[in-house]
């Protein structure tokens, strides 16, 4: 049900007190006025704290700087006369005992009158004693159709035109922004070079970064890594490549549901975070990184509110990738945390959303310690697939060395014995191989020459890999993966051979 359909139904059903959380005052007021006109030309009166009532010449300024008087204005209107009263920023006054009591009295009175009071607020902030009388109505951000109509209107006004593909790209990049922000960023683009150009998509993405920064919960990550930057993990890469077009309109027409998400479990430094970035780049979707620690706040109820805000922002910016790094650290030991149940409630809200979400938000979560994760998060329906990312095989280490050396010394790649390097670095993770190359570069740089295969081997001999320092923990992880509880990210890993022999 759209906002207009729901609002029209609530007017007809005589819901007296409506609460609409939105930053888009202008757009929501336009929608309310249009629906009020359609419902028998109902007069609309608008009040704010500074200017009082507007919309009727006889009552201009009534209730100025007096929120209680703003409610008393209802009684000035004939009981049989229909009306819609819009009160801006009224959430600030709901804690006042007189205002709260007056609202509850009006909730009774207006059941028999064709009047509705609409409270506008940038967020949901309803005291407990008003939860039963206020009805919250969600006002969504502009849809793709709304954005396309606005861009086409702007193009007609400026005498410009756009190709179908660029128009679709621009519309998709604008999704998740308010109409005011969209108008502002497009006006900036036109002011810069007189017309809209393909490069203006970057301006829109910068505006999205600004929106996300203001939440202080999510980070907008630039995704420059490619699938080819990942050495090995062939099973995982094949799975991702098959789903590359799953967010397209063609996929919807085919009947494919949106992919839900992916849980990457495994040893530290094996490319889990790199994979999250590569997915966003390959699928051409914005990458949002969630630091779960930022969800938790000191005030009662604020953590749950931040969780809902995070979900709203992610859904508004969809289609997108939501990357949750080291989710095991956030929700480990769930039942033993002495925080009055806050962590459990945040976790409950999060996994319920993951199971029921219909928006195209693809969740990529990484975890190092699968044993500490609550079993609920591993249930089918939360993620499309759980992959285990183990230590690279010799063949995969060769691919990892090749990726890094191609980036560091593309002109001199053939001078390195990559096969020998892969053979001499058993139990090394991808991150440890990268650190080995950095150490070799220091050796060569300190001697005023380029680094060689021997320098890399010397650096490797000085590094003790995690597979040795945390041998028991890694062995437990590998036994868990070998038991068939997760799909293996690598085709030819020792674990896959072990599974075949079982």
- Tell me the pLDDT of the chain averaged across its residues: 85
pLDDT band at residue 501 under the 50/70/90 scheme: very low
List C-alpha distances in Å: 102 to 19, 47, 74, 78, 130.
16, 16, 11, 18, 11
* CATH number for 326: 3.40.50.300
Same domain, residue pair 26 and 90: yes
Strand partners, 115: 83
Residue 477 lies in a domain: no
Same domain, residue pair 380 and 398: no
Output the six-digit token pair for 89.
């920023």
- What tens digit of pLDDT does each residue of 120-141 get? 998 888 898 999 999 999 898 8
- Greater confidence, 326 or 10? 10
Confidence at residue 120, expressed as pLDDT on a 0 to 100 scale: 95
The answer, yes or no, to whether residue 299 has pLDDT greater than 60, is no
Single residue among 214, 247, 262 that ends a domain in this structure? 214
E-strand spans in 403-468? none
Confidence at residue 207, expressed as pLDDT on a 0 to 100 scale: 78
Same domain, residue pair 27 and 128: yes
Residue 473 lies in a domain: no
**Cβ neighbours of 128 (radius 10 Å):** 6
Same domain, residue pair 239 and 270: yes
Same domain, residue pair 351 and 262: yes
Region of 235 please: left (phi>0), alpha (psi -120 to 50) or beta. Answer: alpha
pLDDT band at residue 297 under the 50/70/90 scheme: low
Could you tell me the pTM of the whole model? 0.69
The answer, yes or no, to whether residue 28 has pLDDT greater than 50, is yes
How does strand 115-121 pair with strand 261-266?
A: unpaired
Lowest mean pLDDT among 1-5, 124-128, 285-289, 316-320: 316-320
pLDDT band at residue 338 under the 50/70/90 scheme: low
SS (H, E, C) 336-387: HCCCCCHHHHHHHHHHHHHHHCCCCEEEEEEECCHHHCCHHHHCECCECEEE
Same domain, residue pair 169 and 309: no
Output the six-digit token pair for 348.
């409950």
Q: Which domain holds residue 82?
A: 3-136
Confidence at residue 445, expressed as pLDDT on a 0 to 100 scale: 95
- Total structural domains within the chain: 4
- What tens digit of pLDDT does each residue of 72-117 get? 999 889 999 999 999 999 999 999 999 999 999 999 999 889 999 9
3-class DSSP state for residue 400? helix
Confidence at residue 280, expressed as pLDDT on a 0 to 100 scale: 86
Confidence at residue 81, expressed as pLDDT on a 0 to 100 scale: 93
List C-alpha distances in Å: 487 to 3, 265, 439, 499.
42, 10, 34, 11
The packing angle between helices 200-215 and 179-193, to 10°, is 140
């Amino acid at each position: 049900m759209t906002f207009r359909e729901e609002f029209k139904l609530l007017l007809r059903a005589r819901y007296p007190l409506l609460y609409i959380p939105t930053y888009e005052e202008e757009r929501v007021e336009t929608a309310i006025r249009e629906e009020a006109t359609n419902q028998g030309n109902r007069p609309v009166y608008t009040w704010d704290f500074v200017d009082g009532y507007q919309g009727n010449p006889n009552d201009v300024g009534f209730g100025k700087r007096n929120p209680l008087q703003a409610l008393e204005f209802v009684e000035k209107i004939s009981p049989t006369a229909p009306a819609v009263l819009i009160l801006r920023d009224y959430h600030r006054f709901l804690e006042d005992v007189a205002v709260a009591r007056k609202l509850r009295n009006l909730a009774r009175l207006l059941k028999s009158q064709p009047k509705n009071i609409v409270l506008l607020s940038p967020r949901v902030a309803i005291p407990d004693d008003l939860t039963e009388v206020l009805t919250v109505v969600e006002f969504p951000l502009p849809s793709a159709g709304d954005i396309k109509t606005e861009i086409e209107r702007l193009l007609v006004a400026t005498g410009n035109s756009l190709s179908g593909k660029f128009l679709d790209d621009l519309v998709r990049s604008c999704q998740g922004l308010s109409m005011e922000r969209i108008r502002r960023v497009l006006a900036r683009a036109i002011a810069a070079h007189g017309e809209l150009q393909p490069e203006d998509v970057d301006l829109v993405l910068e505006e999205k970064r600004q929106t996300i920064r203001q939440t202080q919960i999510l980070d907008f990550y630039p995704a420059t890594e490619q699938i080819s930057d990942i050495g090995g993990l062939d099973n995982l890469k094949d799975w991702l490549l098959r789903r590359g077009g799953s967010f397209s309109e063609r996929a919807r027409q085919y009947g494919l549901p949106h992919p839900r998400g992916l849980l990457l479990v495994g040893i530290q430094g094996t490319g889990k975070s790199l994979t999250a970035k590569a997915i966003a780049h390959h699928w051409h979707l914005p990458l949002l990184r969630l630091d779960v620690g930022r969800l938790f706040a000191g005030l009662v109820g604020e953590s749950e509110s931040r969780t809902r805000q995070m979900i709203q922002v992610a859904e508004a910016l969809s289609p997108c990738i939501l990357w949750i790094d080291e989710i095991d650290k956030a929700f480990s030991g769930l039942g033993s945390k002495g925080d009055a149940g806050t962590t459990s409630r945040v976790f409950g809200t999060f996994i319920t959303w993951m199971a029921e979400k219909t928006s195209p938000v693809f969740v990529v979560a990484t975890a190092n310690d699968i044993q500490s994760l609550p079993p609920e998060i591993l249930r089918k329906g939360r993620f499309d697939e759980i992959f285990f990312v183990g230590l690279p095989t010799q063949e995969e280490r060769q691919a990892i060395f090749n990726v890094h050396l191609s980036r560091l010394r593309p002109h001199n790649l053939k001078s390195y014995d990559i096969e020998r390097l892969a053979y001499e670095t058993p139990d090394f993770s991808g991150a440890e191989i990268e650190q080995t190359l950095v150490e070799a570069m220091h050796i060569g740089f300190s001697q005023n020459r380029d680094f060689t295969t021997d320098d890399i081997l010397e650096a490797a001999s000085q590094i003790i890999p995690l597979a040795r320092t945390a041998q028991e923990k890694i062995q437990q992880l590998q036994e868990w993966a070998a038991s068939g509880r997760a799909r293996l990210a690598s085709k030819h890993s020792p674990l896959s051979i072990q599974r075949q022999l079982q």
